[in-house]
Amino acid sequence: MQYVIGVVGLLVFLLLAWLPSSDRRGAVGKLGRVAILLVVQFGLGFLLLRTGVGTAVIRVIRDGFQHILDYAGQGTTFVFGDVATYGKMPAFLFSVLMPIVFVSALIGILQHIRVLPLIIKYLGLALSWISGFGKVESFNAVASAILGQSEVFISLRGMLDRIPPQRMYTLAASAMSTVSASILGAYMQLIDARFVITAIVLNLLGVFAVTALINPYRIEPEEDAELLAAESEDARRAQSFFEMLTDYILVGFRVAFTVAAMLIGFIALLAMVNGIFAAIFNGTTFQDVMGHVFSPLAYITGIPWHEAADAGKFMGTKLVSNEIVAMQELHESHGGLSEHTMAIVSTYLVSFANFSSIAIIIGAVRSLNEKQGLVTAGFGLRLLYSATLVSFITATIVGLLS
């Protein structure tokens, strides 16, 4: 029965992508490509979650990040001393957020020595071949998963002014559906590394399945070549190694404290709203309400009905606050959720699909190009809708494989 519900869930989420489509007839013509993307997602999900090779790959990535966190800890302890290790457990800021600074520096080094551009190029070419979208969209999706949802637009600044609105939508949806490599270490301290890695891989493909239905369009090879030529010209600007390293360290520091500020604000607001709801509705909190709202959607991802409301709390928390708030709550109080449900919920949480991301992406684009910032602002809730469907599709696939 679980598998039947999961398959029905996939069809429902695809239908929800097609219904508000900008071109429903054009979207129907993309169904073959969507089917290919789903097959590849299932194949990669099976490889990562059900085979020895996948387990070994995830273990290597997890152990690699653990070493990085250990090295980052030395820098944190040097600056903050005993404050960083006060009590039985280090504070969230020091153990989870400060390593972002070091990871950001490593990303900058790999970018500077031209390793990341090669990875982005060849993974992007493979993704373009599978997805049927242009190279610009595919390169952007891979870059988003490495650089982050706001930083990725800096790499596109040379072509931003020439990108049509439909393609801009896909670029922004990719940025919201993926996560930054600099924050992976933080995620892996809160949820199982298997689901972090699997979600990133599947979301890269899932965003094209969703946007093919909700935002179908044709791309001419000449247009792709023209945009990439503009980007290459902009990328030729030289930057010294230490100038680059300083920039990336400061970017990492800003990201860490931006996340910290958002956590303080959102967790405090969530506590206040929970308190207001509990006072008005006789102990029923806002998160209890969100759990019931999300429970039908949680159910069709493959979560048993008796766990759907509890799982829906975390899904709703992610949407109205952010993924780290939801991960932190899942880490601390997942209660009696089964292993199967934990797999689905954990996978769902790994993306930037939340209300605050709308403002982050619009702000990032608008700081680089006023016109495209206004275009992106017009997409707003539609972007969040697409990215949320991507998360549900990925979670459903993991549910079918778990």
User: For residue 87, is pLDDT > 60?
Assistant: no
Domain span holding position 118: 1-45+97-400
The mean of the pLDDT values for the chain is 86
89 in any annotated domain: no
**For residue 315, what pLDDT is reported?**
93
205-242 per-position pLDDT tens digit: 999 999 999 999 888 777 777 777 765 554 555 678 88
53 in any annotated domain: no
Nearest to 293 by CA among 277, 279, 269: 277
**For residue 276, what pLDDT is reported?**
92
95-132 per-position pLDDT tens digit: 777 888 888 888 888 888 888 888 888 888 899 899 88
140-157 per-position pLDDT tens digit: 888 888 877 777 887 777
132 in any annotated domain: yes
73 in any annotated domain: no
Percentage of the chain modeled with pLDDT above 90? 39
67 in any annotated domain: no
Report, as an integer, the average pLDDT of 355-367: 83
Percentage of the chain modeled with pLDDT above 70? 95
385 in any annotated domain: yes
**For residue 349, what pLDDT is reported?**
95
108 in any annotated domain: yes
What total number of domains does the chain contain?
1
User: For residue 255, is pLDDT > 90?
Assistant: no
**For residue 197, what pLDDT is reported?**
93
The model's pTM is 0.88
369-393 per-position pLDDT tens digit: 888 989 988 998 899 999 999 999 9
